[in-house]
């Protein structure tokens, strides 16, 4: 059975800091407002939905305890709608989408909502810990190194200079600013309201339009301290071809820390007929896989090939790519290794400019690529993210 995307919405992204506009909003509230919006604008009978799956990269504290179910009830959805939490680090939101699509494909579900949420200002990165980073026996023997070290390892091994990564970051800012100015996101953004119903935020707050290679050049590389503390030794143990690690990443060419949520409604053709909704795109294929965990962030190229193979497609069959901008080198490597021109990748800008609310991003960029395919009259899009510990997930969609 084919799985179709019927709609998607997302919150604007607030700075993931105490002075960010969304800091006062709970994680469950971010999802609740999206569930309400996607129901109301489609006049949806929520009893037609089987499940809501929400991904979070820090599923602890207020983001733990199957936040999806709490949000379903909080939004006043039918009690019959289930809820589930998924966790695959940064790919969680896309995995949530894929899980809904897969169950529709399998015929065990008619429709559901997949998405993600992360209030990084409230559930701070690192609250969800785990053996992979912090159990000495596991971390040491698996050659764990922090992601920033992985990003700098990619730059070192692929020869990306500081100018290269800063150049990429400046272009992300330029594209994001242009996209907002042209209103490319207006169909998807649901402004976030406070307790008394006042709008707190209606635009991505993290962006720095006007960023240039020169302005970024003033920032100090962020991960040298960690490297010198021992992770350089870890990196060289896994990649002895590294003479010296080249530290090129910093806050300005890495994904921004933000608060936000995104959801995608997926269902069968029959669901659409019953709900009176028109499908916008078909979920063609999806895949997840693991890759070398020390460098951590190189799975997207391989998982892209895997998803393409599942779909019987080639790189050239894809019109637009969305690869989460975890770090500039991740995207530069992806384009280099798959030979994809920059004008097909993250054409609306990415997480370096607009921010990366960990578990939410997969759903957000699924929406962005769909809107952009519609705006430009193109057909196929591929969404992918690298995730911690060497993981990666990809999804291919096609407009219908």
Partner 1 sequence: MRHMKIETAADGFATLTLDNADESMNLVSDAFIAEMMEATAQIAADDGIKGVILTSGKPTFMAGADLKLLVQGYDTMTLKSAFAFSQKASAMHRAIETSGKAWVAVMNGLALGGGFELALACHYRVLVDDPKAVVGLPEVNVGLLPGSGGTQRLIRIAGMKIGTELLLSGRAVKGAEALALGIVDAVVPVAEMDAAARAWLATGPDPVKPWDVKGYALPEQRGLIIPEYSAGMMITSGSVAKSGYNLPAPIAILSCIYEGAILPFDKALAVESKYFAKLLTSPVSRNIIRTTFLSKGAAERGAGRPAGIPKAEFKKIGVLGAGMMGAGIALVSAQVGVDVVLIDRDVESATKGKAYSETVLGKQIARGSMAQDKADAILTRITPTDDFALLEGCDLIIEAVFEDINIKAETTRKAEAIIPATTVYASNTSTLPISTLAEASARPDQFIGLHFFSPVDRMGLVEIIKGAKTSPATLAVALDFVAKLRKTPIVVNDSRGFYTSRVFQTLIHEGGAMLEEGVPPAVIENAAKAVGMPVGPLALLDELTFDLPLKIVEQAIEQEGSKYIVPAGVSAMKKMKAQGRSGRKTGGGFYDYPAEGGKKLWSGLSDIFPVSADYDVAELKQRFLYAQAIETARCREENVIETSEDGDLGAVYGWGFPAWTGGTLSYIDTIGVAKFVTECDRLAQKFGPRFAPSAWLRERAATGTGFY
Residue numbers of the site for partner 1 (CB under 8 A)? Answer: 60, 124, 126-127, 129-130, 133-137, 139-141, 143-146, 226, 229-231, 233-234, 236-237, 240-244
Shortest separation between residue 228's beta carbon and partner 1, angstroms: 9
Give the three-state DSSP class for 111.
Answer: strand
Shortest separation between residue 129's beta carbon and partner 1, angstroms: 4
Shortest separation between residue 60's beta carbon and partner 1, angstroms: 8
Give the three-state DSSP class for 254.
Answer: strand
Measured N-to-C along each axis, helices 92-106 and 361-376 cross at an angle, to the nearest 10 degrees, of 70
356 catalytic? Reply is: yes
Residue 208 backbone zone (phi > 0: left; psi -120 to 50: alpha; other: beta) = beta
C-alpha–C-alpha distance, residues 118 and 257, integer Å:
10
- Residue 167: Cβ within 10 Å count: 18
Nearer Cβ to partner 1, position 32 or 56? Answer: 56
C-alpha–C-alpha distance, residues 255 and 324, integer Å:
8
What are the C-alpha distances in Å from 136 to residues 142, 149, 231, 234?
10, 18, 14, 13
Shortest separation between residue 121's beta carbon and partner 1, angstroms: 14
Nearer Cβ to partner 1, position 141 or 218? Answer: 141
Shortest separation between residue 217's beta carbon and partner 1, angstroms: 19
Helices (H), 75-218: 92-106, 131-134, 136-141, 147-158, 162-181, 213-216
Q: How far is CA 244 from the centre of its chain?
A: 31
Shortest separation between residue 18's beta carbon and partner 1, angstroms: 16
Catalytic residue, candidates 8, 87, 250, 386? 386
Q: 293 and 144 in contact (C-beta within 8 Å)?
A: yes
348 catalytic? Reply is: no
Q: 338 and 362 in contact (C-beta within 8 Å)?
A: no
Catalytic residue, candidates 8, 105, 206, 356? 356
Mind giving me the DSSP string for 65-79? TTHHHHHHHHTT--T
Nearer Cβ to partner 1, position 49 or 235? Answer: 235
Nearer Cβ to partner 1, position 212 or 233? Answer: 233
Catalytic residue, candidates 8, 90, 105, 249? 90
Contacts of 123 (CB under 8 A, 6+ apart): 27, 56, 58, 60, 61, 62, 63
Nearer Cβ to partner 1, position 143 or 193? Answer: 143
Nearer Cβ to partner 1, position 130 or 217? Answer: 130
Q: Would you please indicate which residues are annotated as catalytic (active-site) residues? A: 90, 356, 386
């Amino acid at each position: 059975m084919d799985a179709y995307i019927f709609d998607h919405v997302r919150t604007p992204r607030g700075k993931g800091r105490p002075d960010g506009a969304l800091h006062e909003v709970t994680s469950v509230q971010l999802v609740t407002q999206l569930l309400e919006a996607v129901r109301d604008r489609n006049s949806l009978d929520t009893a037609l939905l089987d499940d809501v799956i929400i991904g979070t990269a820090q599923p602890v504290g207020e983001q733990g305890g199957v936040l999806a179910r709490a949000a379903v009830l909080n939004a006043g959805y039918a009690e019959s709608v289930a809820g589930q939490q998924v966790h695959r680090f940064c790919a969680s939101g896309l995995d949530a989408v894929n899980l809904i699509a897969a169950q529709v494909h399998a015929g065990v579900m008619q429709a559901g909502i997949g998405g993600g949420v992360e209030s990084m200002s409230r559930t701070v990165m690192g609250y969800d810990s785990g053996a992979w980073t912090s159990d000495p026996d596991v971390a040491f023997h698996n050659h764990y190194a922090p992601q920033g070290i992985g990003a700098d390892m990619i730059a070192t091994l692929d020869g990306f200079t500081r100018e290269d990564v800063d150049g990429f970051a400046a272009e992300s800012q330029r594209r994001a600013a242009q996209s907002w100015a042209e209103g490319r996101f207006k169909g998807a953004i649901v402004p976030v309201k406070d307790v008394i119903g006042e709008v707190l935020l209606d635009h991505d707050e993290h962006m720095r339009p006007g960023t240039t290679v020169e302005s970024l050049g003033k920032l100090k590389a962020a991960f040298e301290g960690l490297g010198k503390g021992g992770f350089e030794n870890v990196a060289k143990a896994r990649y002895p071809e590294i003479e010296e690690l080249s530290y090129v990443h910093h806050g300005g060419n890495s994904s921004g820390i933000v608060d936000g949520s995104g959801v995608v409604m997926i269902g069968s053709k029959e669901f659409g007929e019953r709900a009176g909704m028109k499908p916008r795109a078909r979920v063609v294929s999806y895949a997840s896989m693991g890759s070398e965990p020390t460098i951590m962030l190189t799975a997207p190229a391989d998982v892209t090939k895997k998803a393409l193979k599942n779909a019987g497609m080639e790189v050239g069959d894809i019109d637009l790519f969305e690869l989460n901008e975890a770090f500039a080198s991740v995207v530069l490597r992806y384009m280099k290794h798959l030979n994809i021109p920059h004008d097909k990748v993250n054409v609306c800008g990415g997480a370096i400019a607009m921010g990366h609310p960990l578990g939410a991003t997969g759903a957000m960029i699924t929406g962005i690529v769909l809107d952009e395919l519609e705006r430009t009259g193109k057909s196929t899009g591929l969404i992918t993210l690298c995730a911690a510990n060497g993981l990666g997930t990809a999804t291919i969609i096609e407009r219908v």
